[in-house]
């Protein structure tokens, strides 16, 4: 078991220097949010998630959620109490609309809070995460009556939400789904069909569960154009808001998974007894479009899981490496052993973890604040630019974040040596838990295809060109700040990113096999470069603050930030050039190898 300490210093630094939260706070949308108190809010959140939620993580892994013969699902010991504390404290409501009981905070603050929740207990965090998805869908596309009925209790966390897309034959290919929704005289629908991989599809934490379900109305066109979106509550809700009859949707089994054991992954059967009552959201056949509008936030949330679990595993590995003594260093007193954190090879693992985590935090928080600006900026041009930035960064956050989640938790296991493989140590759980994140909410391959397809094509490549152009400004600032080596490394990576982008665009992007073949290495290349750019900006800010006379622990933090950025620039950014040939190799080499 490991303690978790919310990385408040780094969160504050990234919120200030990368997300520019002071400028965000000036938007009228956040005038009443009380952002002045943000440091206190984050400190209190850090305390809450470390003390109340983090201790449930290991119990959750050992006990798991269990389906009972009657179809109900019992969560692990302590989850109900922990979740109620979470709801009572209002953490889930913070970044939502005050009109429905939310706290009116920016999304980037919600992301910071969710990072702590997820690091404390990833399996539990998926419940609020799915609820957030439901809130976003209803907020964007629900009628006023639907919003009034469902939003307040979803935002408070009294009820939870789920997303029902996948069916056995319809995974990445959502358009292949067959669940049916038949209209009834009263305007409702009766749904029937089976959905799989439904996260927190049944559980005992809330009185009601609001399932959002993709289904086909009779005579709907084939594929994604014939899909509509429905609200299907576990319990119907009476006009006075009280809970009514049990709806015809039931958990028929739970999956046995490698990790996130406490998160019940359900097979849900709709309409075994005549049909599950559902209420259509928005227009018929517009379900896929509605899903896309909430996809950015859901994918960012999954990328955040990579960051959060990586951070927790890093903290555990660092603590172990300080404590565990093996072998000697030149300055080890006679008869003693040195803490392994002092050995260069162990240090390389820890610094690699730290550097990538901090780069990733920059990316994820920048992505989140772009969502805020795209929605709330007073200037239309700024809203548009930030929507483009959101669209571009989201696949990077999701895929790079979760790939790094896998890599960093694996390094954390490695730092522990043999103890890392023993379940009681706890670090193996992080490695198992996070492995799902590269798969769900669109596999990382799907993210890469989205990047070389829709995202590269935005304004015919100009959105990416402009982002890379901004890196050029940072390069100039680095030279002026006497950070010449960092400038050289960033300039080289940016040049490779530009060459890769142009080559892919010329080959037709996601519309061509050559583009698709290069998608995954391209995403890695671009994300690694963006991470290097954001850490370079961090280095400039750290140097500025040091020059302004920071002292004490703040000074140590800033010096470490500068050294971490140097490490990333010198030793991680160069990996970009090793990826370039793969991006530009085209599809032919892949099909030349027979796989039959």
Smaller CB separation from a second copy, 189 or 197:
197
Is 439 a residue that touches a second copy (CB under 8 A)?
yes
Pattern 166-195, a second copy, x by CB under 8 A? x----xxx--x-------------------
Of 225, 421, 460, 473, the residue at the interface with a second copy (CB under 8 A) is 421
Of 197, 290, 365, 400, the residue at the interface with a second copy (CB under 8 A) is 197
Considering only the stretches 128-136, 250-258, 381-389, 455-463, report the one whose residues sit in contact with a second copy under the rule CB under 8 A. 250-258
Is 147 a residue that touches a second copy (CB under 8 A)?
no
Strands 189-199 and 265-270: antiparallel
Tokens of residue 174, six digits:
């959502």
Please compute Rg for the chain using Cα positions: 24
575-594 residues near a second copy, rule: CB under 8 A? 575-582, 585, 587, 589-594
**C-beta atoms surrounding 196 within 10 Å:** 19
Nearest to 397 by CA among 298, 509, 463, 487: 298
Min dist CB 118 to a second copy, Å, is 17
Is 465 a residue that touches a second copy (CB under 8 A)?
no
Of 316, 397, 444, 474, the residue at the interface with a second copy (CB under 8 A) is 444
The residues that are catalytic are 441
Of 207, 255, 272, 283, the residue at the interface with a second copy (CB under 8 A) is 255
- 227's CB contacts (< 8 A; 6+ apart) are 174, 175, 177, 214, 215, 216, 220, 285, 287, 288
Please check whether residue 372 is in contact with residue 21, taking contact to mean a CB–CB distance below 8 angstroms: no
Smaller CB separation from a second copy, 139 or 444:
444
Smaller CB separation from a second copy, 74 or 571:
571
Of 185, 187, 218, 344, the residue at the interface with a second copy (CB under 8 A) is 344
β strands within 437-499, DSSP E: none
Smaller CB separation from a second copy, 218 or 594:
594
In three-state form (DSSP H/G/I as H, E/B as E, the rest C), the secondary structure along 126-145 is HHHHHHHHHHHHHHHHCCHH
In three-state form (DSSP H/G/I as H, E/B as E, the rest C), the secondary structure along 191-242 is EEEEEEEEECCCCCCCCCEEEEEEEECCCCCCHHHHEEEEEEECEEECCCCC
- How far CA 441 is from CA of 394, 444, 488, in Å, comes to 12, 9, 36
Of 35, 213, 341, 360, the residue at the interface with a second copy (CB under 8 A) is 341
- Alpha-carbon distance of 189 to 155, in angstroms, equals 25
CA atoms lying within 13 Å on the CB side of residue 545: 22
Is 424 a residue that touches a second copy (CB under 8 A)?
yes
With H, G, I as helix, E, B as strand and everything else as coil, classify residue 529.
helix
Smaller CB separation from a second copy, 39 or 327:
327
Min dist CB 253 to a second copy, Å, is 11
Min dist CB 391 to a second copy, Å, is 20
- 175's CB contacts (< 8 A; 6+ apart) are 222, 223, 224, 225, 227, 288
- Alpha-carbon distance of 583 to 479, in angstroms, equals 29
64-123 residues near a second copy, rule: CB under 8 A? none
Smaller CB separation from a second copy, 237 or 415:
415
Tokens of residue 25, six digits:
């706070």
- How far CA 268 is from CA of 85, 157, 214, in Å, comes to 28, 22, 13
Is 567 a residue that touches a second copy (CB under 8 A)?
yes
With H, G, I as helix, E, B as strand and everything else as coil, classify residue 246.
strand
- Alpha-carbon distance of 101 to 200, in angstroms, equals 23
Tokens of residue 419, six digits:
């103890």
Is 292 a residue that touches a second copy (CB under 8 A)?
no
Is 448 a residue that touches a second copy (CB under 8 A)?
yes
Burial zone of 588 (CB within 10 Å; 0-12 exposed, 13-18 middle, 19+ buried):
exposed
Min dist CB 142 to a second copy, Å, is 28
Min dist CB 79 to a second copy, Å, is 21
- Alpha-carbon distance of 348 to 89, in angstroms, equals 40
Min dist CB 596 to a second copy, Å, is 7
Of 438, 451, 456, 504, the residue at the interface with a second copy (CB under 8 A) is 438
Is 126 a residue that touches a second copy (CB under 8 A)?
no
First to last CA, the chain: 46
Min dist CB 369 to a second copy, Å, is 27
Number of residues that bind a second copy (CB under 8 A): 88
301-340 residues near a second copy, rule: CB under 8 A? 318, 321-322, 326-327, 337
504-543 residues near a second copy, rule: CB under 8 A? 513, 516-517, 519-521
- Alpha-carbon distance of 192 to 190, in angstroms, equals 7
Of 422, 462, 473, 547, the residue at the interface with a second copy (CB under 8 A) is 422
Is 376 a residue that touches a second copy (CB under 8 A)?
no
Of 440, 481, 495, 499, the residue at the interface with a second copy (CB under 8 A) is 440
């Amino acid at each position: 078991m490991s303690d978790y300490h919310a990385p408040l210093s780094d969160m504050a630094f990234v919120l200030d220097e990368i997300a520019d939260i002071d400028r965000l706070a000036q938007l009228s949308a956040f005038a009443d949010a009380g952002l002045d108190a943000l440091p206190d809010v984050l400190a209190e959140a850090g305390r809450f998630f470390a003390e109340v939620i983090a201790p449930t993580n290991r119990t959750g892994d050992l006990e798991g959620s269990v389906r009972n013969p009657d179809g109900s699902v019992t969560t692990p010991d302590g989850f109900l109490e922990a979740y109620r504390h979470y709801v009572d404290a209002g953490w889930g409501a913070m970044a939502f609309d005050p009109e429905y009981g939310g706290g009116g905070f920016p999304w980037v603050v919600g992301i910071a809070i969710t990072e702590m929740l997820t690091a404390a207990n990833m399996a539990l965090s998926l419940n609020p995460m799915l609820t957030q998805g439901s809130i976003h869908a209803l907020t964007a596309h629900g009628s006023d009556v639907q919003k009034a009925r469902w939003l307040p209790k979803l935002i408070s966390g009294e009820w939870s939400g789920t997303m029902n897309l996948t069916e056995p034959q319809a995974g990445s290919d959502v358009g292949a789904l067959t669940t049916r929704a038949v209209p009834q005289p009263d305007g409702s629908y009766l749904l029937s069909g089976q959905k799989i991989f439904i996260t927190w599809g049944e559980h005992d934490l809330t009185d009601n569960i609001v399932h959002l379900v993709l289904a086909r109305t009779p005579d709907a066109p084939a594929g994604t154009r014939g899909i509509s979106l429905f609200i299907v509550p576990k319990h119907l809700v009476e006009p006075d808001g009280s809970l009514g009859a049990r709806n015809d949707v039931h958990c028929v089994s739970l999956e046995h998974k490698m990790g996130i054991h406490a998160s019940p992954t359900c097979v849900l059967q709709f309409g075994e007894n005549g049909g599950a009552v559902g209420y259509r959201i928005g227009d018929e056949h517009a379900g896929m479009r509605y899903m896309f509008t909430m996809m950015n936030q859901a994918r960012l949330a999954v990328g955040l899981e990579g960051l959060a679990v990586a951070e927790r595993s890093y903290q555990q590995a660092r603590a172990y490496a300080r404590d565990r003594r093996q072998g000697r260093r030149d300055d080890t007193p006679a008869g003693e052993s040195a803490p392994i954190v002092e050995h260069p090879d162990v240090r390389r693992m820890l610094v690699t973890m730290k550097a990538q985590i901090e780069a990733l935090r920059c990316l994820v928080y920048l992505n989140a604040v772009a969502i805020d600006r795209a929605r709330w900026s007073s200037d239309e041009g700024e809203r548009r630019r930030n929507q483009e930035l959101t669209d571009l960064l989201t696949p990077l956050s999701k895929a790079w974040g979760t790939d790094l989640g896998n890599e960093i938790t694996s390094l954390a296991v490695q730092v522990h040596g043999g103890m890392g493989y023993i379940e009681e140590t706890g670090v193996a759980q992080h490695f198992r838990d996070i492995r799902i994140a590269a798969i769900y909410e669109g596999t990382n391959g799907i993210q890469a295809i989205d990047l070389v397809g829709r995202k590269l094509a935005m304004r015919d490549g100009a959105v990416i060109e402009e982002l890379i152009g901004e890196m050029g400004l940072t390069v100039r600032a680095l030279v002026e700040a006497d950070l010449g080596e960092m400038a050289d490394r960033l300039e080289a990576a940016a040049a490779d990113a530009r060459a890769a982008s142009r080559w892919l665009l010329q080959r037709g992007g996601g519309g061509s096999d050559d583009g698709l073949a290069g998608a995954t290495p391209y995403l890695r290349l671009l994300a690694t470069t963006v991470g290097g750019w954001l850490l370079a900006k961090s280095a400039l800010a750290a140097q500025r603050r040091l020059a302004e006379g920071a002292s004490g622990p703040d000074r140590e933090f800033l010096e470490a930030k500068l050294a971490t950025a140097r490490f990333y620039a010198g030793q991680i950014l160069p990996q970009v050039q090793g990826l370039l040939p793969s991006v530009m190799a085209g599809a032919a080499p892949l099909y030349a190898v027979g796989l039959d």
